[in-house]
């Protein structure tokens, strides 16, 4: 009977030891960091404000695109300038949340603003916009219809292409009709 009591006591102490070790293991696995409600609220508020800016960008760019369509139908330089100013404001307003809007969308809106400044006759704003475009999106370009380079086309139209490159049109990724027109203008300028 003494051996039964000793085995039972041994089993009980083994069980207690196993429960104690199991409890420690579970306690170690359940270490949680307390969540600071202020951080959660701040994150949500920042996210909400970012989404508001993105929604504002989308509405603004839609307004600019609508104005662009109207300007094309009226062929009015004032309407092109109005569209360009709206599109430029869209780009400026989204700078804080630039990563939330896909880059290609920002590039397209920015490029359209440059083109519309040019069509509206504000060449200086178009040049400044092109400089900003190239600084904001280094080593990137958009392709126009016919796979022409937006940057090279804009530089040619804005008089930024160096004279020696004008003779080397084969090296420029610019629309053929534009190349012919610039050649014609340069021919009559030099006469």
Assess contact for 63 and 109: CB atoms under 8 A. no
78-104 as b/e: b if 16+ CB within 10 A: ebbbbbbbbbbebbeebeebeeebeee
Q: What is the predicted pLDDT for the residue at 101? A: 81
pLDDT of residue 4: 45
Please report, for the chain, the start and end positions of each structural domain, with discontinuous segments joined by +: 44-122, 141-191
Tokens of 113: 């603003």
Q: What is the pLDDT tens value at each position of the chain, 191 positions in all?
A: 444 444 445 566 777 777 767 666 666 555 556 666 556 777 788 788 788 888 888 999 899 999 999 988 988 889 999 999 999 999 888 876 667 788 888 899 999 999 999 999 999 999 999 999 999 889 888 888 878 888 888 888 888 766 545 455 555 666 777 767 776 666 666 66
Rounded Cα–Cα distance for residues 126 and 34 (Å): 53
Residue 163 confidence (pLDDT): 55
Q: Residue 27's pLDDT is what?
A: 60
Q: Given the structure tokens 């008089």, which residue do they identify?
A: 159
Query: How many Cβ atoms are within 10 Å of 144's Cβ, its own excluded?
Result: 18
pTM: 0.68
pLDDT at 5: 44
């Amino acid at each position: 009977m003494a051996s039964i009591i000793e085995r039972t006591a041994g089993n009980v102490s083994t069980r207690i030891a196993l429960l104690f070790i199991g409890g420690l293991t579970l306690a170690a696995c359940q270490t949680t960091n307390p969540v600071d409600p202020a951080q959660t609220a701040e994150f949500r508020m920042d996210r909400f404000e970012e989404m508001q800016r993105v929604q504002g960008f989308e509405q603004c760019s839609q307004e600019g695109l609508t104005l662009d369509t109207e300007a094309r139908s009226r062929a009015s330089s004032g309407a092109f300038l109005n569209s360009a100013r709206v599109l430029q404001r869209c780009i400026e307003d989204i700078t804080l949340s630039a990563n939330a809007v896909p880059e290609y969308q920002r590039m397209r809106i920015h490029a359209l603003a440059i083109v519309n400044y040019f069509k509206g006759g504000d060449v200086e704003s178009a040049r400044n916009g092109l400089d900003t475009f190239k600084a904001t999106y280094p080593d990137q370009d958009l392709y126009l219809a016919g796979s022409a380079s937006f940057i090279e086309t804009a530089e040619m139209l804005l008089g930024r292409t160096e004279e020696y490159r004008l003779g080397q049109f084969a090296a420029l990724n610019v629309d053929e009709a534009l190349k012919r027109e610039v050649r014609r203008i340069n021919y009559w300028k030099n006469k």
